[in-house]
Amino acid sequence: MIEDPRGPLQIFRDHESTSLRTFGMSETPPLLVAGEGARLYDAAGRDYLDFACGSGVTTLGHGHPAIRKAIQAQLDTGIWHIGAHLPHGRRAELYQELLAVLPAELTRINPANTGAEAVEVAVKAARFGTGRTEIIAFQGGYQGRTAGALSVTSYARIKRPFLPLMPGVIHVPYPYPRRSPFGRYGQTAEECAALCLEFLEQALSNPAGGVTDPAAILVEPIQAVGGVIIPPPGFLRELRRLCDRYGLLLVVDEVFTGFARTGRWFAFQYDGVIPDLVILAKGLSGSLPLAAVVGREEILGRWDPGLHSSTFHGNPVACAAAAASIRAIREEGLVERANEVGRWITEAYPQLRDIPIVGDCRGIGALHGIEIVEPEDGRPAPARIKPIRSEGVHRGLLLWECGWYGNVIGLVPPVVISRTEVSRAMEILAAILRDEAQHPGESA
């Protein structure tokens, strides 16, 4: 490595594109050199409890023996990349593992490199498979930052600089009762969901509803980046009913929620639905860049060769890691372990809810959101998030950021975390929030 007296952080400041978020958690982030389980370590040997998991990727923690062994075994073959025109055994192995944990109706797999690319695969497949063009997505939805994925993402801040984007996307309300899209109506989760579904059905059935040529409904079963927004039971079932009634495909984005994160293999299983296409990434490999779209034969089994392909898709090393990760989840009972982690986290909810800046605590499995508000009126308090995360780094706790308004602290630990580690993390978080509550808000 070239020695540079400025040090790594200054090199980042001087030369890295400012579009990245290297300093999003802290202006002086640690340089991490090792990891094991739920902990990361810097060069001085200080440990950090990881409740961010690289934005939800490292579901099995850091240095998991099964993933490490699989990666090393593939590296030892000398085949680290062979491109899109030749098959390899690790990809076939991954396909078998994937199909074993998904509904039997989903038989075709299209590999990709990232969640955003997989979203683009799904959008293209929906349009190709139906011969129609419009994609119905949801307010608060986040599907990535490439041009196509950004088109179905709802956040104005990250879309506006790049307009115009892909046409034919319609955003409809998602059930978030605390910030109900219907104002003072829909204050319970059930009421809010019912209004959202009624709005959607009206849009589909009304000849003046604004929907002209719908191909698919694209939905996150839980909005993770949206702030861990969990619809009430039955919401996906009703979307499935609407898709069947109006001839649309149901595309479920499990990029964040898949592979045990929510206490099921996939969050759509809570409602017992079978999607037409499922988008996978992040926890799929738990480590290296890898994604996939899994779908029905009549959709993914009819493309002409080359309609979607990329140089690095199905990389042998990443596939080896993913197959090992799926086996480890199954063999180590980590789906149920995620539910245990969820119970341990929720035990701390009462002490958090007593803190004036905490507007809500919500979550499922190993995915939780603590909504931060201004205590005098409950309005979103996004300006408080970076100080909270930065103080977390100082105290050895890495926290995620999410939310429609950017005002939610995300708790995304690995499912292999211990109860002692969860308790310690929640104690640190409570102390940080109590301290932050003493500071005046943005408008004070």
In the chain, where the domains are located: 8-63+334-437, 65-331
Contact 141, 220 (CB under 8 A): yes
DSSP string, 347-358: TTHHHHHTSTTE
Q: Which pLDDT score, from 0 to 100, does residue 71 have?
A: 98
Structure tokens at 36: 């094991």
Q: How far is CA 6 from CA 11, 29, 407, in A?
A: 7, 15, 34
The residue type at 79 = I
CA distance 342 to 327: 22
CA distances from 152 to 29, 146, 345 (A): 32, 10, 32
Instruction: With H, G, I as helix, E, B as strand and everything else as coil, classify residue 289.
Output: coil
How is residue 22 written in tokens? 């290297």
Nearest to 169 by CA among 200, 211, 201, 209: 211
User: Distance between CA atoms of 62 and 47, rounded to whole angstroms?
Assistant: 13
The pLDDT value recorded for residue 1 is 62
Distance (Å, rounded) from C-alpha 142 to C-alpha 160? Answer: 15
pLDDT value of residue 185: 86
- DSSP code at position 62: B
What is the reported pLDDT for 444? 43
Q: pLDDT truncated to tens, each residue of the chain (444 aa)?
A: 667 777 899 999 999 999 999 999 999 999 999 999 999 999 999 999 999 999 999 999 999 999 999 999 999 999 999 998 999 999 999 999 999 999 999 999 999 999 999 999 999 999 999 999 999 999 999 999 999 999 999 999 999 999 999 999 999 999 999 999 999 888 899 999 999 999 999 999 999 999 999 999 999 999 999 999 999 999 999 999 999 999 999 999 999 999 999 999 999 999 999 999 999 999 999 999 999 999 999 999 999 898 899 999 999 999 999 999 999 999 999 999 999 999 999 999 999 999 999 999 999 999 999 999 999 999 999 999 999 999 999 999 999 999 999 999 999 999 999 999 999 999 999 999 999 999 987 654
> Pick from 47, 72, 74: which is nearest to 61 by CA?
47
**pLDDT at position 306, please?**
87
pLDDT value at residue 441: 79
Q: Hey, which CATH number is domain 65-331, 3.40.50.1000, 2.40.50.1020, 3.40.640.10, 3.40.220.10?
A: 3.40.640.10
Say whether the peptide bond before residue 164 is cis (omega within 30 degrees of 0): yes
Domain 8-63+334-437 in this protein, CATH class: alpha beta
Which residue in the block uniquely carries the two structure tokens 């952080």? 9
Q: Distance between alpha carbon 416 and the CA centroid of its chain, in Å?
A: 18
State how beta strands 291-295 and 108-112 pair.
antiparallel
Alpha-carbon separation of residue 395 from 46, 327, 354, 388 (angstroms): 10, 35, 21, 10
Which pLDDT does position 150 carry in this prediction?
98
Residue 189: is it exposed, middle or buried by C-beta count within 10 angstroms (0-12/13-18/19+)? buried
The pTM is what? 0.97
Question: Residue 200 to residues 67, 110, 136, 193: CA-CA distances in angstroms?
Answer: 42, 29, 9, 11
